[in-house]
C-alpha cells in the first residue's frame, strides 16, 4: 500500500508562474520529510528537509511546509524557470537513525513552458 | 566533494546473464542503500547495508544480492537477470541526521 501520495501527478505551468505541489502520507512514525528534485535521467537532489511538528523552510524560490498532525506537506515554487522542469519527489523518513527507512512518493512531473 | 558514484550508467544484458552494478561513496558513510525506480512508482528499497558485511533485505530483495567488503563500496548483483528487472537502479548513502545522497543511477535493460 502506497504510504506517500503526491498530487498532482503532472503539472504544466508557464515560465514566471507560481506552483504548489502536494504530499500526503500515512507513514508512522514520521521523523522528517524531504523534497527532492530529479532532472530527467539524473539522480535525486535534495531541496529542503522539514522536521518539526509544524515546520516551514525556504530555499531561494523553493519554500515548503509540513504539518505532521495532518501528515501533509506542500512545496511552493515561485517565479518558475524553464530549468525547474523536473520530477519532484516527496520522501518521508520514519526515523533519524541509521535504522530508519525512507518512504518515497511517485513524484510530480513539472513542466515549465515559455 | 561529497558524492556517490555509480557504474555503469547504462547497461544492456540478455535474459539469464549475470549483472554487477557498482556504487562508491567518498564520505565514509556507514549506511548505504540500493533502490530501483520504475515509472509511476516511488523508489523501492532492495537492500540496506549498515556497514561492511552487515546487509539486510529491503522490500523487494528477490532476485538480487549485495556485497559490501569495503565501507566505501556497495555492489548489487543480479544472478540470471530477468526482463522484469529492467529498471533504473539508484544507490544512496546516509549521512548525519537526515541527510541522504544519491548516485545518478544505472539504467539497466534486460532483453
Query: Chain A residues with CB-CB distance to B under 8 A?
Result: 2, 4, 31-32, 34, 36, 41-46, 49, 51, 89, 93, 96, 98, 101-107
- How many C-beta neighbours within 10 Å does residue B67 have? 16
Look at residue B1 in the predicted model and tell me its pLDDT. 67
pLDDT 10s digits, A53-65: 999 999 999 999 9
Per residue in A29-38, pLDDT tens? 999 999 999 9
Place of cell 515549465: A112
φ, ψ for residue A79, nearest 5 deg: 50, 60
Provide, as residue numbers in chain A, all residues whose Cβ is less than 8 Å from the Cβ of B44. Answer: 104
Q: How far apart are CA A65 and CA A51, in angstroms?
A: 10
Rounded to the nearest angstrom, the minimum Cα separation between A98 and chain B is 6
Torsion sign (Cα): A33, B2, A85, B42? negative
**8 Å CB contact of A98 and B105:** no
pLDDT digits (tens, 9 = 90+) for B9-54: 999 999 999 999 999 999 999 999 999 999 888 899 999 999 999 9
Amino acid at each position: 500500500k502506497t504510504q506517500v501520495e503526491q498530487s498532482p501527478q503532472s503539472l504544466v505551468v508557464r515560465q514566471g508562474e507560481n506552483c504548489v505541489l502536494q504530499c500526503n502520507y500515512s507513514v508512522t512514525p514520521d521523523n522528517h520529510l524531504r523534497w527532492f528534485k530529479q532532472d530527467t535521467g539524473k539522480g535525486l537532489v535534495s531541496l529542503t528537509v522539514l522536521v518539526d511538528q509544524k515546520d516551514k523552510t525556504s530555499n531561494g524560490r523553493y519554500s515548503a511546509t509540513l504539518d505532521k498532525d495532518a501528515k501533509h506537506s506542500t512545496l511552493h515554487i515561485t517565479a518558475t524557470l524553464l530549468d525547474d522542469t523536473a520530477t519532484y519527489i516527496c520522501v518521508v523518513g520514519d526515523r533519524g537513525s541509521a535504522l530508519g527507512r525512507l518512504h518515497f512518493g511517485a513524484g510530480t512531473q513539472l513542466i515549465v513552458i515559455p | 566533494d561529497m558524492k556517490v558514484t555509480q557504474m555503469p550508467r547504462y547497461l544492456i544484458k540478455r535474459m539469464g546473464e549475470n549483472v554487477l552494478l557498482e556504487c562508491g561513496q567518498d564520505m565514509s558513510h556507514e549506511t548505504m542503500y540500493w533502490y530501483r525506480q520504475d515509472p509511476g512508482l516511488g523508489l523501492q528499497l532492495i537492500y540496506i547495508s549498515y556497514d561492511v558485511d552487515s546487509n539486510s533485505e529491503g522490500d523487494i530483495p528477490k532476485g538480487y544480492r549485495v556485497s559490501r567488503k569495503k565501507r566505501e563500496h556497495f555492489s548489487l548483483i543480479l544472478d540470471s537477470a530477468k526482463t522484469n528487472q529492467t529498471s533504473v537502479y539508484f544507490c544512496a548513502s546516509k549521512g548525519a541526521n537526515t541527510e541522504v545522497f544519491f548516485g545518478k543511477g544505472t539504467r539497466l535493460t534486460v532483453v
